[in-house]
Amino acid sequence: MRPLEDVRILAVEQYGAGPFGTLHLAELGAEVIKIETPDTGGDVSRYVPPGQAGEDSLFFETFNRNKRSLSLDLGNPGGRRVFEDLVRVSDVVYSNLRGDVPARLRIRYEDLQPVNRAIVCCSLSGFGMTGPRRGEPAYDYLLQGLAGWMSLTGEPDGPPTKSGLSLVDYCGGFVAALAVLAGVHAARRDGVGMDCDLALFDTAVSLLTYVGTWYLTMGVEPRRMPLSGHPSLVPFQNFRTADGWIVVACPKEKFWRRLCEAIGEPALADDPRFADFAARYAHAAELLERLAKPFATRDTAGWLERLAAAGVPCAPVHSVAEALADPQTAARQLVMETAHPRFGTVRQLRGPVRVGPEPPPARRAPQRHEDGEAVLAGLLRYDRETIAALTAGGAFGPAPPPS
């Protein structure tokens, strides 16, 4: 069995952050039943280009493999009945909605405790269920600005810059998945469920980590560093080579000495201006100008070979294509394939969570309401008459016209 095969999650989720969290729980074996709103055509990410047609998109495939889909109107009495019947046989109700919406949809613990005393209600919202911003919408790039990330990213003389990836969303998904595991563990131990009130804002601010500690304790205002440099360790940054870029890191004094030898400047190691971390930080501009000259004389491959031989941490600055073609990517089996009725073979990236010796199985993302019969008749044991009545009443979306 996969580690989480005995866990069932009802996911009222959409787009990136929420589905990214349940994606990893599904890969670990959890049964994730994705509740999709019928009046909007389901998860909005079904319509994100490129690679989009009808209700299918490669974006949706990326975040929803190994899940099941049930189209369900939670505002419809029949839809609410189905939802509460699912709550009775599930461990988690998981959502990523605006902070004030779980109360309106009645999917908090106080709403569902009468149905299932042990249910864990996990809400991942932009700003959480409390505070002056609780009712505001939030998106990754907005939060990168609001939480101070963009003030730290980019060149000192350039504009504030976002990350090229939606890291607030993805980290928020991991945080939500961690909360689900802790919540389910406690609920099974104590027989009592709870709310997990998680916020992308909290995630983003907490990830300031030591930079936040420096400011809160010493009043040190972090600043953008040239060439993606480390805020305190020098050298630890990009250098331009004859044909590209290379990242060089000296987080230990031994690496600094090895670097000086490798670039043909052994005397730099004993220069009092560069003798230790503090000295190199104080004289960073002078030192980096000195280092830039030798790096520009050799191509990236030549420097990688030379620095690796000297035991200096280094890496090329890859393009996405180069990163996916790296031998380590293949060795770690990070690229996986799923068969899809519209896209044929979809090649995408496996998650990083490894538990046990075998990689998790891969199943394509579901079509909207694809698992309706399996959930309704199989899991909930509804008979055909009940399903027909619920369908006619609009529980799963607008009732079909009479034939």
- Reading the chain (403 residues) residue by residue, the pLDDT tens digits are 889 999 999 999 999 999 999 999 999 999 999 999 999 899 999 999 999 999 999 999 999 999 999 999 999 999 999 999 999 999 999 999 999 999 999 999 999 999 999 999 999 999 999 999 999 989 999 999 999 999 999 999 999 999 999 999 999 999 999 999 999 999 999 999 999 999 999 999 999 999 999 999 999 988 899 999 999 999 999 999 999 999 999 999 999 999 999 999 999 999 999 999 999 999 999 999 999 999 999 999 999 999 999 999 999 999 999 999 999 999 999 999 999 999 999 999 999 998 988 777 789 999 999 999 999 999 999 999 999 999 999 999 987 655 4
Residues 262-288 as b or e (16 or more Cβ within 10 Å = b):
bbeeeebeeeeebeebeebeebbeebb
Q: Using CA of residue 307, residue 311, residue 316, residue 317, what is the dihedral sign?
A: negative
CATH code at 8-206+331-392: 3.40.50.10540
pLDDT at 222: 87
Which amino acid appears at position 187 of this protein? A
Q: Using CA of residue 158, residue 164, residue 166, residue 171, what is the dihedral sign?
A: negative
CATH 3.30.1540.10 segments of the chain: 227-317
Locate 268 and state its tokens. Answer: 């730099």
Among residues 83, 82, 43, 39, the alpha carbon closest in space to that of 61 is found at: 43
Locate 341 and state its tokens. Answer: 């009725």
pLDDT at 401: 56
pLDDT at 148: 96
Judge contact between 169 and 62, C-beta under 8 A: no
Write the class of the CATH domain 227-317.
alpha beta
Which amino acid appears at position 390 of this protein? L
Judge contact between 93 and 12, C-beta under 8 A: yes
Locate 250 and state its tokens. Answer: 């000296």
CATH 3.40.50.10540 segments of the chain: 8-206+331-392
Judge contact between 95 and 22, C-beta under 8 A: no
3-state SS assignment for residue 239: strand
pLDDT at 398: 86
Which pTM was predicted? 0.93
Q: Residue 340: how many CB atoms within 10 A of its CB?
A: 16
Phi first, then psi, for residue 320 (nearest 5°) are -60, -45
Helical H segments across 10-139, by residue range: 17-27, 58-64, 77-88, 101-105, 109-112
Q: How far is CA 108 from CA 180, 342, 358, in A?
A: 14, 37, 36
- Looking at the annotation, which residues are catalytic? 230
Locate 163 and state its tokens. Answer: 């990350």
C-alpha 107/C-alpha 103 separation (Å) is: 6
